[in-house]
Structure 1
């Protein structure tokens, strides 16, 4: 599948202007930070010696104006970064969410969670942690000011800066692995929590709560252990850096006092040196204090760049005419996902071939793990075959625009869930332009119109939450209505009657027959024989291979017991293959 240009890199390139502006504001802020030391220098060396109140008043007015600009620039810098973070989210958020939804169907992508990584990067851009990074380049300016006051003070400050920087580098390497491992552990823990909540019913009913809680506790402790390990190391360095900086200021005051006694500098320069040197090392302290969040943001940034390299191009494809439903599956082979521990990749499907005309109904039957669901995913484009191809009206599925192809496909997976929203929204696939009559038509074809009207607010009933639980049969029938919405030309139903009663079976068979009469090509993956009555062809899968394919009567005839060669097998006997 063709991928588009990395949207995350594109969004970062558009932020260069914002970063450049923030850099300019940082320059102004750091220069204005010299206001305090220079003011102290003038007060001690000029005002106190001259006793001029007018000079003191004039200097104070200048200081007020400069600090006002300092506050304005600080506000603008923070506002620019905050707006840049939100703009990044707006530009990348939709692609990140789409990638996260698709990641479960693409090899080697499940470990990515770009939605969460984007949130980490966005929070970092709007946090004080990034401000320290913008202030780091201005450390030499403050050191130069100290050197101008006196070289001894300059070299003492440089020595202190070297010690603090070495501590920061040690902190970086000492905490890098624990922070990275902590991020991985947190991802494993979140996945376990999400899956446990989705399976809360069997966990509670089977008395598994304590055991599952123990498993979560073990995962949680592992995550906390890694994060705490990195945090402990960072805290040691942060404490050392802070105490050393205070010691350095006292040392500067001591050396400054010694130089003042020798009349090499003025008393005002002692105070100014202490302030300027403290400001020179402040960005290093700030970076060390936020090192954990900086490390997490760096890892999230790296993962986002890698993940966004695989975003499929939604604009790829062509505006092809609406398909009629002619489906050709030719030599489709699908292998198990790649595994670093196992070099051999068994075949899920092997050289599957068949052809269906508009209006055909195909029943795909076989034992568990025969490959029925895998074939269904390939037919609707969720999986890509490792060999072979699937063509709809002569075009491979990747030749269509993704949204256009989805309009022509109806799909009902084995596991059906309603998203939080109204019944009408779920049936309409959350299309804001959906017409009520189209929603009702799909519900009527699926045989759920009367069932919906009996619900509290009918089609406006809010589902997908614990406040409005649905039975398995109701959810499956609403999923069928969603699959039928928009009169698709290719309808793929995976175990559509697994939760249905006799009435639901009848409605399903009627829906299949109705769609076939409209020219829709229907494929039904089934264990139960009732729905097979509504199809005209049967494909038997056995261990991922085609056992038999053909007209239903012919396949059933061949499935007859050997002792009765003239007899015609019942549909149920086919499922025992």
Structure 2
């Protein structure tokens, strides 16, 4: 599994930087001893001797130490910020890949959350919340210095640090569950909101606003209640820690005063001990104050790890040359995630380069599922789908997606320009984009848009009609003259002119050697296929040359074009009530 390996590789490459940050943290904390030493020297040496030269020298030394400490602190903070940015750059591609893989498993919400989680981790590394954690390991330096002042105050500092650390651990124990619940509820609420925003038209049109608001409110209340519970518990711990911190300071000051009265310590030691105690306890108290951001970053990191577990491990594959387009499916079956029953079983077929396969069948027969397997957007649960003898996963790992064209049943366009959508978000040559647009007959339509190919079509292509979106999706599928094209209901939203352009494009790509799979209900598309495959209940009902299938549909009589009234009768187990094809004028 790639999971931790990718993150571990990234962290391993940052190891030197992390070590330097720890070294700088040690130096910053070590130099912090300069101030208490300065106070002790001023009160115990300079004032009794009234030596201005000594005072000036000590002051210069302390100022230099403070300047170096401030510089090192700034450097380590800058390094942490750069580490966060570097990790973000390094991991964004694997996280995106895992997010898209999650989307293919029908968990697009988890994928989008991973993008936010990566930003959370980067923000934590580059923020101030991590500083107390870096300073905490060096608290023993200041506690050791307290023992040098006097063993009694050393033990007071030790006990105080242990008590504050216990409160920090208690804070973790009592807030872990509600923070996890709040995080899960927030993620769920965000996912539901994203889903509802994508369906805003349906919600407004069918009066579902109140129901949508009720569901969102329920999720939000769950997150708020969990957050409130965690905040309330954390506030109690924080109050106790402040009270304890004050009590420790009082105990230390009282003990030092007692020692000064008994001539066991100098007056300057009181101020030095106060600073040392403050530096010893500050990281622990700071960790309690930043526990929320630490918990959120930890949960985000764990979600990222879980998502990246879904990526297969492997070294970067060699880029493969353009395939010829021969397709072989061998006893492929597919079981959806979380399901027990296969929705596609025992599919086997062979296509030569330049052949066109038409896939037919009633609703729910598994046509779109087979289309996704052939396009490589889903992997079979068993059996194999191969292109030029290589598994589809091998092609995708080798960046072979540029050789594929795919039009899903529900066309999704990106929030960008027409050019960006057709060119698959590549910085392509204008003539290549125009060629793809002309192939499906939308060049003139695009030129009538306000900015032509540079017109922004909005999220999902909302500024275009259904037919225009369909044809832009087709141009994208045909862009770059791919070796394999899978079209799922490509003419669902097309008028006669658009369908004629589509048929012409298929004929052109077929002549160029492109293998094309078309899932269709209209006869015009089916009638340009070389082979036909009929699916029913997830299994192959019949497959063969178009002329052979049409002869079977016609009761053994030779026929060159399909008739809608014959198709459903030829399917085993059909009642004749579920039409496979919708006939259109002049198609019979």
TM range (shorter): over 0.9
Equivalent-residue separation in structure 2 for 1:63 and 1:402 (angstroms): 59
Local SS of the residue matching 1:325: coil
Equivalent-residue separation in structure 1 for 2:464 and 2:197 (angstroms): 17
Equivalent-residue separation in structure 1 for 2:567 and 2:255 (angstroms): 96
Equivalent-residue separation in structure 1 for 2:566 and 2:454 (angstroms): 43
Q: 1:557, 1:569 within 8 Å by CA — same for their partners in 2?
A: no
Aligned length: 568
Equivalent-residue separation in structure 1 for 2:271 and 2:319 (angstroms): 73
Structure 1 residues 113-168: Cα deviation after superposition (integer angstroms, max 9, x where no partner): 43222111111111111111111111111111111111111112222112111111
1:42 aligns with 2:41: yes
1:73 aligns with 2:72: yes
Q: Which residue of 2 aligns with 1:296?
A: 296
Which stretch of structure 1 is more off in the superposition, 4-13 or 205-214? 4-13
Change (3 A) 1:5 1:62: closer
Q: Which residue of 1 aligns with 2:464?
A: 470
**1:3 positional shift:** 5.2
Change (3 A) 1:105 1:466: closer
Q: Which residue of 2 aligns with 1:19?
A: 18
**1:373 positional shift:** 1.0
Of 446, 454, 460, the match for 1:460: 454
**1:565 positional shift:** 7.8
Q: Which residue of 1 aligns with 2:350?
A: 355
Which stretch of structure 1 is more off in the superposition, 406-415 or 528-537? 528-537
Structure 1 residues 504-550: Cα deviation after superposition (integer angstroms, max 9, x where no partner): 22222222222222222211112333422322322111110111112
**1:469 positional shift:** 0.8
Equivalent-residue separation in structure 1 for 2:519 and 2:119 (angstroms): 40
Local SS of the residue matching 2:491: coil
Structure 1 residues 350-381: Cα deviation after superposition (integer angstroms, max 9, x where no partner): 00112222232221111221111111111011
Q: Which residue of 2 aligns with 1:271?
A: 271
Q: Which residue of 1 aligns with 2:550?
A: 556
Q: Which residue of 1 aligns with 2:202?
A: 202
Structure 1 residues 443-465: Cα deviation after superposition (integer angstroms, max 9, x where no partner): 11111111111111212222234
Q: Which residue of 1 aligns with 2:336?
A: 336
Structure 1 residues 457-510: Cα deviation after superposition (integer angstroms, max 9, x where no partner): 212222234997111111110000010011112110011122222222222222
Which stretch of structure 1 is more off in the superposition, 162-171 or 385-394? 385-394
Equivalent-residue separation in structure 1 for 2:17 and 2:548 (angstroms): 70
Change (3 A) 1:28 1:316: closer
Q: Which residue of 2 aligns with 1:369?
A: 364
Structure 1 residues 229-279: Cα deviation after superposition (integer angstroms, max 9, x where no partner): 222222221222122112211121111111111111111111211221111
After superposition, where does 1:123-272 map in structure 2 within 5 Å?
123-272=123-272
Equivalent-residue separation in structure 1 for 2:399 and 2:118 (angstroms): 28
Which stretch of structure 1 is more off in the superposition, 61-70 or 21-30? 61-70
Q: Which residue of 1 aligns with 2:307?
A: 307
Gapped regions of structure 2 (runs ≥ 5): 569-578, 581-588
**1:404 positional shift:** 4.6
Equivalent-residue separation in structure 2 for 1:246 and 1:413 (angstroms): 65
**1:44 positional shift:** 1.8
TM-score (norm 2): 0.91
After superposition, where does 1:416-431 map in structure 2 within 5 Å?
416-431=411-426
Q: 2:404, 2:483 within 8 Å by CA — same for their partners in 1?
A: yes
**1:169 positional shift:** 0.8
**1:396 positional shift:** 2.3
Equivalent-residue separation in structure 1 for 2:233 and 2:333 (angstroms): 51
Which stretch of structure 1 is more off in the superposition, 45-54 or 252-261? 45-54
Q: Which residue of 2 aligns with 1:541?
A: 535
Change (3 A) 1:396 1:467: closer
Gapped regions of structure 1 (runs ≥ 5): 340-344
Change (3 A) 1:24 1:427: same
Change (3 A) 1:36 1:318: closer
1:394 aligns with 2:389: yes
Q: 1:413, 1:493 within 8 Å by CA — same for their partners in 2?
A: yes
Equivalent-residue separation in structure 2 for 1:59 and 1:553 (angstroms): 101
Equivalent-residue separation in structure 2 for 1:411 and 1:136 (angstroms): 54
1:382 aligns with 2:377: yes
Local SS of the residue matching 2:11: helix
Q: Which residue of 1 aligns with 2:407?
A: 412
Equivalent-residue separation in structure 2 for 1:319 and 1:145 (angstroms): 61
Equivalent-residue separation in structure 1 for 2:99 and 2:387 (angstroms): 27
Q: 2:386, 2:392 within 8 Å by CA — same for their partners in 1?
A: yes
Q: 1:349, 1:371 within 8 Å by CA — same for their partners in 2?
A: yes
Which stretch of structure 1 is more off in the superposition, 480-489 or 39-48? 39-48
